[in-house]
Chains A and B, each alone.
Chain A
Amino acid sequence: MATMGIEEIEKEIIEEFDFFGDDWESKYEHLIELGKSLPLIAAADKTDDKIIQGCQSRVWLNADFDDNGMVYTADSDAIITKGMIALLVRVLSHQNPTDIIRANLSFIDKIGLKEHLSPTRANGLLSMVNQMKKEALKRL
């Protein structure tokens, strides 16, 4: 299993983002950097059946399982969405399925990016979180 639990990693991310304070431009620049550094999903896994339809940005999600827990890889055609994905993958990858299903991911709200997980947001992220949990459920 991962050396850090979900809440520990969330805490780490909150501290990282606290550095930016109210400066949304730096915060988004950081998010864009995270998006750019996201290890891409294997080309073989970037298939139509792995697309999570948002209205505008498309998200691909692949879920595997190894000795360390769930392994998620993902991609999006929008970079801000990709930055959000990078955070979610960092928090939920290598965790055990039970913890993933129970995770409330409150760090998203605490770092001021909650709007990206709103059901009215046309980016597919909320569906992606639901899909990550569904995949974890299959491994229980």
Chain B
Amino acid sequence: MELSSIRQNFPILGQKINACDLVYLDNAATTQKPIAVINALSDYYSHNNANIHRGVHTLSRRATDLFEQARKTTAQHFGVANEQQIVFTSGTTDSINMVAQGLSKLYLKPGDEIILSMLEHHSNILPWQLWAEENGGHLKVIPLLADHSLDYSAFEKLISPKTKLIAITHVSNTLGLVTDVEKIKSVANRHNIPWLLDGAQSAPHMPVNLSVLNPDFFVCSAHKMYGPTGCGILYLNERWLSELPIAKTGGGTIKTVSFEKTEYVEGALRFEPGTPNIADVIAFAEALKYMDAIGMQQIFKHESELVQYAQTLMKEIPEIDMYGIHDHKAGVISFNVKNQHPFDVGTLLDKYGIALRTGHHCTQPLMKHLGVQGTIRISFAIYNSKQEIDYFIEKLKKVIKMLS
């Protein structure tokens, strides 16, 4: 698919901000939505809306079919044979909290240890920290090498008989660095330790085949993958699909209920109490189909080219410090302008219609490690172009001049 035709699929991109063409470079925060996703939401409420899994009437069956078909589409997208291993949640944060709360009920014991990394987003720190504080657990943190990539040899040394889980990001939301999952996996398997892969920033940018990676848990958010907000997935392997204790309960998860004893259903529905986010799940499936029609490999290739193109141009600007420069990155560049606050740079670039992110990106431990208050982050999606990067570089130079 040609870039120009891809851009036409995203109605929001055609607008002006402060009389300039919108240049949207905040995709790691959330991506824009193609018309297919917007139409799916509208179609659902216009033609198919009903509550699912219970009704005998036509609309209810239709909505149920669409919802369960979305589960199959999601499973296929991630190379998962059994679609029951895909649980729909409200997003990555919700998914990680479900795992943390579930594991803390039976599996995690006082004194146990969980390994995280210095690159983690707060949402893959706080649920584990809460468990540790409430239960006398400990968090161990994989340090970074000088180039800000994970120190894998230090990682293996953190393993102890008390290590019960490794929870690690697939791609750093702040630096875009890609975790060597095979290294994590081989250590985890050798020591027989379950591991959770946070795919919030990988699933939007690269092929992710969960039957090959085979983590115990995988989580991601629809809204970073051209889908709606308030929707995401928790993938569980066969073991945890049946063994993970539920963190929340309610209607739709049961076979029989009495005041003495309740028998729960098996499979994904055990984790989806209450009326789920039906419309957004169905629209998320359309987002996955949209990505698959372009091809995840193609998306990765396009965004990698943009990263390398931008990195090369930015290296030539002497006032810029870049963090985590690497050839193999997933659509993210983090930088600062020497002696300038990220907030000032972001405020002025917004005036030129450029949307980007400034601040700590919910990775304060990483900011502390880098020795900065915050960074400026640009992040790419399939609809971004080299022309947009040229425009961004031109305006960045202008802003640097204005501020100095």
Contacts and interface: CB of A to CB of B under 8 A. Distances in A.
**Size bin of chain B's contact surface:** 10 to 19
B343 A57 contact: yes
Interface string A23-58: 011001100100000000000000000000001110
B351 A24 contact: yes
A32 B341 contact: no
Contact of B343 (A24, A25, A29, A78): A78
Given A25-B402, A28-B402, A32-B403, A77 B351 contact: no
A79 B344 contact: yes
Contact of B342 (A25, A28, A56, A81): A56
Nearest to B340: A79
Interface size class of A (residues with CB under 8 A): 10 to 19
A55 B374 CA distance: 11
Nearest to A57: B343
Contacts of A100: none
Contact of B359 (A25, A29, A55): A55
B373 A28 contact: no
A24 B342 CA distance: 19
Given A28-B351, A56-B358, A56-B374, A122 B343 contact: yes
Contact of B402 (A29, A57, A81, A123): A29
Interface string A8-26: 0000000000000000110
A34 B137 CA distance: 51
B214 interface: no
A81 B343 contact: yes
Interface in B352-404: 358-359, 373-374, 402-403
A57 B341 CA distance: 8
B13 interface: no
Interface string B269-302: 0000000000000000000000000000000000
B122 to A, nearest CB: 14
Nearest to B341: A78
Interface of B: 18, 340-344, 347-348, 351, 358-359, 373-374, 402-403
